[in-house]
Amino acid sequence: MRALFRQVQMIDGFELTEPNARGCVPEILRDAKFRDVEEVRVIPTPTGSISLYRARR
């Protein structure tokens, strides 16, 4: 999965995709003043998993 995701990163750009690859989305949401951030579902795909989050603003 990681090798395929690297190909996606080459298209979308590492700057925009690397925080997601490092698992920083919950932190980014909290920094944007969201609270009660939780990952509610993980969907596996050929290029990596998609995480769905829930949060309050």
Q: What is the pLDDT of residues 26-48, one digit of tens each?
A: 999 999 999 999 999 999 988 77
Overall number of domains in the chain: 1
Helix (H) or strand (E) holding 27: helix 25-31
14-21 helix and 2-12 helix, angle to the nearest 10 degrees: 150
Residue 20's pLDDT band, with cuts at 50, 70 and 90, is confident
Domain that holds residue 48: 2-56
